[in-house]
Amino acid sequence: MSHATRHIHAACTAQATIATPLGPVLLARTARGLAGVWFEGQKDHPGELNAPVVEDDPLLRAAAAQLADYFSGRSKRFDVPLDLHGTPFQLGVWKALLGIGQGQTRSYGDIARQLGSPKAMRAVGSAVGKNPVSVIVPCHRVLGTDGTLTGYAGGVHRKRALLTLEGVAL
């Protein structure tokens, strides 16, 4: 278990599991914001959390509603407060991901250059893969330099489906 995952386990105050077109998703929150959105079976899924299951938690309900709107095509925006847990480098990568608009893509190299570390493509890839807030922090919008679908912690089939939903021609 990574340091970030241990921290999420300790900080979570509520959790809920929702159904999505791409399978069940675990939502987790802290007192500060949404800390996790993990597909069932996703790499780095935190496993069972000690936080209580609170189906009517206002923040988790808002996240669930925004995800439902996203999957149905009704909305392209997420505005729930986030509480991301990671290293300073990971947080920088995840912030860069938040700047990639729906229907747009970037390469790992693009993000490395944006962060001022053009040779850090592998480190960017690792940070992208450890993103704890799938879909909302859009790690699915990162492709290989040649535009190919590379790994996705939630499964390449989900990455393809998310990009297709957003109108990205693959």
Let me know: does 137 contact 92? Beta carbons within 8 Å.
no
Tokens representing 132 are 């704890």
- Please state, for a pLDDT cut of 70, what percent of the chain lies above it: 98
Domain residues of the chain, as ranges?
3-72, 88-166
Stretch among 4-13, 57-66, 67-76, 92-101 having the lowest mean pLDDT: 4-13
Least confident of 88-92, 112-116, 145-149: 145-149
Which one from 139, 153, 162, 165 is the annotated catalytic residue? 139
Rounded Cα–Cα distance for residues 88 and 66 (Å): 27
Assess whether pLDDT exceeds 70 at residue 3: no
Q: Which of 45, 46, 58, 39 is nearest to 11 (CA)?
A: 46
Instruction: Look at residue 7 in the predicted model and tell me its pLDDT.
Output: 80
Q: Let me know if 12 is a catalytic residue.
A: no
Q: Which CATH architecture has domain 88-166?
A: Orthogonal Bundle (1.10)
Q: Which CATH class is domain 3-72?
A: alpha beta
Asked if residue 104 has pLDDT above 90, the reply is yes
Query: What b-and-e string marks burial along 40-65, b requiring 16 or more CB atoms within 10 Å of the CB?
Result: eebebbbeebebeebeebebbbebbe
